[in-house]
Structure 1
């Protein structure tokens, strides 16, 4: 059986593409910009898996091989897509101009959440290695509200990582719940109205799971679902801010 090996992307070539220092050798009236824009449009509509070179070429009415004279492959294209959409962040208000550092942290969370809503494929496209101009701009702007408040440089980086990882994690949970709703055709509220009384019957009355039954019923009644991602985001973000404040005070 033949073994198929996947070509590893060239980090230097990828960085050159991201920063626009590569040699322009493409033909057919295409450009890196038009190819990336088409791929983003496809990914927004159909998911990251659909944004393959063949599909992008069809979208542009070009031959697949003509795309490779601009972008070497899917890995490089994905890096370019991610860096491009990250450029839309903070066009009107940078986090450092939000006032108190706490307001800046909340702005970071809100803007990243909204970006994931516009481009749901983005978290899967970022692997942390392709350091393009827009990801570096994002890092610079998001560090600003944490600068000069009493954190070391490493603590600033760690605090920002904690914020971003938390936001992405809660957003992924929200996306998963949406997928369940789409598959079942039933909203969380509708599900809870049906399931809540049954759970109360089997778990209530101090039975096998008295603590889980009490707390789960209280949370489910509050959220009309097993989980409210927006509430979870705000609650967790407040606790993260409390933790950063405590670190500063020490």
Structure 2
């Protein structure tokens, strides 16, 4: 039989949990390691070394990495709550835009969050974030599924945008070339592509596109397009 999720276990043992070494210290250490080295680098041994504890002592608090990831994710979602006004202003577009921008910033602070997949967490901060997100789109005459569609579409766009941003950062780390150096490296080949005349859209991209787009402006422009699409799907009265 599988064990209940850590949140159920914590609720059941809250009054009897031993003092001293606590989940907060363990979680913070795990997040710091993930921020520095990636999620795969997180281990009980590294956490124990960071907080000057015995590795086996940690297992009195968490069963393993699955528990750790739940704790880590819920902890960083607390930052998202801090960034947001917990009482939406009533303008669903503005409220969803604030949620998207805060979520983008969170993923940049903790890039490993994007590797966790889409399975929902049931931690206390995760539940509060969901309440805030759903409140952003309430009062529009929507069904619960339609409300979820608007929230999920906005967050999925944000996560995809951030994934592309982080991929560029990883490419720079891997190759040692920033975008300007990379463009210089491929310039001779691009010139050949232009001369061949077989890729007219690529030619226009090379000749007309902004060489140094502001990522914040690009994000806001594309987010507005997403919100326009969601607005067009609102029920008419």
- TM-score, normalized by length of structure 1? 0.83
What are structure 1's unaligned runs of at least 5 residues? 1-7
User: Residue 224 of structure 2 aligns with which residue?
Assistant: 238
What residue is the counterpart of 1:209 in the other structure? 199
Distance 1:164 1:191 in 2: 30
Match of 1:248 among 224, 230, 234: 234
Once superposed, what is the RMSD of the aligned Cα atoms? 2.6
Deviation by residue 1:43-78 (Cα, 9 ceiling, x = unmatched): 122211121111111212222111111101110111
- Where does residue 123 of structure 2 map in the other structure? 132
Q: Which runs of 5+ in 2 are unaligned?
A: none
Hey, what's the Cα distance between the residues in 2 that align with 1:238 and 1:95? 22
Q: Residues 96 and 249 from structure 1, CA distance in 2 versus in 1: closer, same or farther, beyond 3 angstroms?
A: farther
Report what 2:64 is aligned to: 73
Number of corresponding residues: 236
Distance 1:158 1:167, change over 3 A: same
Q: 2:178 aligns with which of 184, 187, 193?
A: 187
* Alpha-carbon contact 1:15-1:130 (below 8 Å) kept: no
Q: What are the residue-to-residue correspondences of 1:1-250 with 2, within 5 Å?
A: 10=3, 12-17=4-9, 20-22=11-13, 29-91=20-82, 93-94=84-85, 96-98=87-89, 100-125=91-116, 127-196=118-187, 198-199=189-190, 201-205=191-195, 207-219=197-209, 222-224=210-212, 229-248=215-234, 250=236
CA 1:52–1:130 in structure 2 vs 1: closer, same or farther (change >3 Å)? same
Partners of 2:212 and 2:187 in 1: how far apart?
A: 9
**1:71/1:151 Cα in 2 relative to 1: closer, same or farther (>3 Å)?**
same
